[in-house]
Amino acid sequence: MKGSGAVREPALIRIRWRIFAFLFGFGFLAYVQQKSLTVAAERMMPDLGLSQVEIGWLMQAFVLGYGFFQMPGGIFGQHFGARRTLVIVGAAAFLAVFATPLLPSLLAGTGLFAAMLVAQLLLGVSQAAIFPVSAGVFEAWFPANRWAFVQGLQTMGLQLGAAATPPLIASLMHAFGWQRALLWSTLPGVGLIALWAWYGRNNPREHGGVSAAELAEIGDGATPVDARIGFGQVLHVLTDRNAVLLTFAYLCMNYSFYLLSNWVFLYLVQERHFSVLESGWLATAPPLAAALGAGASGVLTGIACRRLGGRWGFRLVPVIALPAAALLLLAAVNASNPYVAVGVLAACYCCVELTEGAFWGAAMTVGRGDAMAVCGFMNTGGNMGGIIGIPIVAYLSGQHAWHAAFFIGAGFAMLSALAWFGIDADQKSRAVAAIHPSK
């Protein structure tokens, strides 16, 4: 027992992997919450008198809150700790999603649309901290050579959530209507938040269940999060060359990501003429392929880093996968067989998500100790890809010009690949070098 002089045996399932399971769950649930609206939109539009452009504005409200609060969310998490932050943002996200199907009972017309915009904005703001904060938890709980791996696994959880959402919401809508479908899909989040508040910790030394053996396994490769982050560190992050290039590359990649993650369901209904229920099931194929790509991303990036070092190890997968994604986008939109188009979209999404381990692992490596801030900065850029892309796709799809939306995505994917040639993850960020010289 602790304090008795006995040596604590390491748990069969290490505590760090239990902590990881919570973050996997937060990512899974976040994507169910995010993507539910894209599926429910097909029924919401006629029921509430909303146009496709207005649905695009609801998506845009989410992305605005989500995008612009990434770095503030990371800084908040770095200062107040992951345990407290994930409870706060998880509860706020639950309230935002739970409110959405209740609003039509209280409001109508312009007031209803405005309230739904606010709910989506709140959902975006509350979820913005989840992934920067997760990066800080991984930084503290895992050695550096496992960062890309755990980031890839968490991203796989996001895509499994995205894959589960279309058939889940479509089936619930078919049986009970879109409002009950959204209500019932929010309830598991309450249990997850409560369990994390009880079990989660900011770092291994705060957790009474972590043995000395597990601390030795984690070793010195893990990095403690710097809770004293100040204006000087933030400024260094914003001006660091590698952080800026990662942010730009992630912005470009995420136009394609948002195109595939937000619009495939409506594309299959409107352009490929599948039924709603059939589209709900077919729309699972791209995110399932993306989940496989994300899971593989950390493994492939880890192998490349061990063999080639940080510079080319992080660079290799994106400079291959992103041009492949561009070609597959063009192939998908030009495929004559709709089922072939679904398969090509799935392969494309897999290629896009093959880059996640490289992006997040490189950001954590560049910003040791300040990973929440650096990853928040990078993910701000990533969500700018959605902020730019959503109104473009909403307008073009409303004009039945899906080809143009896909061609633009191919161009952004190529720009992202080119930006990687300027990223050197062997170099510490100036924030780390100046303020954490021992790292």
Give the N- to C-terminal CA distance of the chain in Å, as an integer.
34
Which of 360, 30, 342, 277 has its CA nearest to residue 162? 30
Q: Class for domain 15-204+221-435, per CATH? A: mainly alpha
Which of 376, 369, 354, 352 has its CA nearest to residue 130? 376
Write down the pLDDT at residue 278: 65
* Domain ranges across the chain: 15-204+221-435
CA quadruple 216, 206, 365, 410: dihedral sign: positive
Question: Which two three-digit tokens encode residue 383?
Answer: 């969500």
The separation between CA 132 and the C-alpha centre of its own chain, rounded to angstroms, equals 10
Question: Which two three-digit tokens encode residue 288?
Answer: 């399932």
pTM: 0.81
Write down the pLDDT at residue 343: 87
| CA–CA gap between residue 109 and residue 107 (Å, rounded) | 7
The separation between CA 226 and the C-alpha centre of its own chain, rounded to angstroms, equals 23
Question: Which two three-digit tokens encode residue 153?
Answer: 């696994």
| CA–CA gap between residue 351 and residue 290 (Å, rounded) | 7
Write down the pLDDT at residue 220: 63
pLDDT per residue, tens digit, the chain (439 aa), is: 344 444 455 667 889 999 999 999 999 999 898 888 878 888 888 889 888 788 888 988 998 899 889 999 999 998 899 999 999 999 999 999 999 899 998 988 889 999 999 999 999 999 999 999 999 999 999 988 899 999 999 999 888 887 788 888 888 888 888 898 888 888 888 999 999 999 999 999 899 889 888 988 887 656 666 666 666 777 888 889 999 999 999 999 999 888 887 777 677 767 776 665 566 667 678 888 889 999 999 999 999 999 998 899 999 999 999 999 999 999 988 888 878 888 888 899 999 999 999 999 999 999 887 888 899 999 999 988 888 888 888 888 778 888 898 899 999 999 999 999 999 987 554 444 444 443 3
